[in-house]
Chains A and B, each alone.
Chain A
């Protein structure tokens, strides 16, 4: 599979979108040695993922030399929580907002990132059983306006099965993201559960989280060798095996350098999204820079 496919658009729109994606990629500031990097901004621990903090997020991404991001929906969507508003009422208002087709809002958000030279690769939305079909469809439609190639989430197998029929309507993909809960039969946590999810539709892609896959005693290299053509991105971070803790890059058991070189040397169009949950005393921007520099050295 080439970049055109991973950039999402497996069907009629794939060639055009793929060319556009490849062109954007050539000029992207976080393309390093043929590997497209980006950030999962969960990393900025101190920065609440709210629309109010979006301009700070954009500034930090540029500071860190990032030209691509996986954007959590909460950076984009208005919040309806507040004093005197129940969680259920806020949830209903959010649903109504999404179903209202707020195209102009999404365009304005996209413009903020475009002007900073940042490509919104995917939208992260944790869809659950409270989502109606219409709402799931609206989530993909909104993400499409943002320029995203897919929507990613930590939903389990049941919800993923339900979601799998929607991305194709928009020429997008659904990214399924693994965690390391081996006690939940619905969880996506190892190769077998990934394979199940990928079987729901050709539009499903794996978002391989190297930290959690390692903590669940999975082999990231073996997984990429076997399934690279269905992997849209990796969340690159380090952890120790056996449900061990997150660590700074290079101190855990995740084969980070090998993953990066595997992607580079095979020219796989797999986006590498840096993400860390390990502790640090440093400001998050400094820590992200250390991680990014580690990756650059790995590819030098």
Chain B
């Protein structure tokens, strides 16, 4: 997509959001040649929308699905260990460059070495976004289990304590389980569309926290979430 087209599309999104005054996920782009039924409505964040369009435009969606529901023999990126362990494209981009020529599958994963670094990173960015969206839905839809507070504490100490040094009591709040789960999966302070205000752009602590929580969201199991809730809810 040309830069001009992207900018004009971004503006279209922004205008439609401000005019409609509603969640951008419910707006429909008035843009010819955009398959809203297949790609879905535009995202609130134009940068993420561009990443999504890059993912679609270079054919990833054809096999792996726009929402990471794979087609045919393609790898399920929602469950892929490689995606789950990737940090800022460090594993995905290398794989995209090389493809997977040696495989038992009918069609090997193609290589995308002709794409720019930026394009490859955009693809990785969207894969993570889509995985986070999908995992959030799966975890919210999962039957809530009775968590094991001790196991939750052990998980907290291992995964969370390096930032939340006050321990579970430092983040526990008197929320019901569902609210606590939502805030655990998507901390409100980290969920806003990232600002390009220079101060915010270089707020490394916030960026690191967002990255860390997104990584956890991509890898939580329902049992781990239930355990954390049991650990964090005041008794």
Contact = CB atoms under 8 A, between A and B. Distances in A.
B is bound to A: yes
Given A179-B106, A181-B108, A279 B101 contact: no
A277 B62 contact: yes
A179 B105 CA distance: 10
A183 B109 CA distance: 12
A184 B57 CA distance: 29
B104 interface: yes
A284 B106 contact: no
A45 B105 contact: no
A243 B114 contact: no
A245 interface: yes
A282 B33 contact: yes
Nearest to B37: A46
Interface string B31-61: 0011101110000000000000101111111
Interface string A210-247: 00100100000000000000000000000110111110
A277 B99 contact: no
A183 B101 contact: yes
A245 B107 contact: no
Do most interface residues of chain B lie in helix, strand or loop, or is the interface mixed? loop
Interface residues of A, number: 28
Interface in A66-107: none
A187 B102 CA distance: 13
B136 interface: no
Residues of B in contact with A, size category: 20 to 34
A281 B35 contact: yes
B39 to A, nearest CB: 6
B211 to A, nearest CB: 27
Given A180-B108, A277-B62, A245 B114 contact: yes
Contacts of A240: 114
B75 interface: no
Contacts of B108: 180-183, 243
A100 to B, nearest CB: 28
A281 to B, nearest CB: 5
A146 to B, nearest CB: 23
Residue from A183, A242, A281 with most neighbouring chain B CB atoms (10 Å): A281
Nearest to B105: A181
Given A277-B59, A279-B62, A286 B33 contact: yes
A280 interface: yes
A279 B103 CA distance: 23
Interface in B18-37: 33-35, 37
Interface of B: 1, 33-35, 37-39, 53, 55-63, 99, 101-108, 110-114
28 contacts: A45-B38, A180-B107, A180-B108, A181-B103, A181-B105, A181-B107, A182-B101, A183-B102, A183-B103, A187-B106, A242-B111, A243-B111, A245-B59, A245-B110, A245-B111, A246-B62, A278-B59, A279-B56, A279-B58, A279-B59, A279-B61, A280-B57, A281-B1, A281-B34, A281-B39, A282-B34, A284-B35, A284-B38
Give me the 3 closest cross-chain CB pairs, A-B, nearest first. A279-B59, A46-B38, A283-B35
Interface of A: 45-46, 154, 179-184, 187, 212, 215, 239-240, 242-246, 277-284, 286
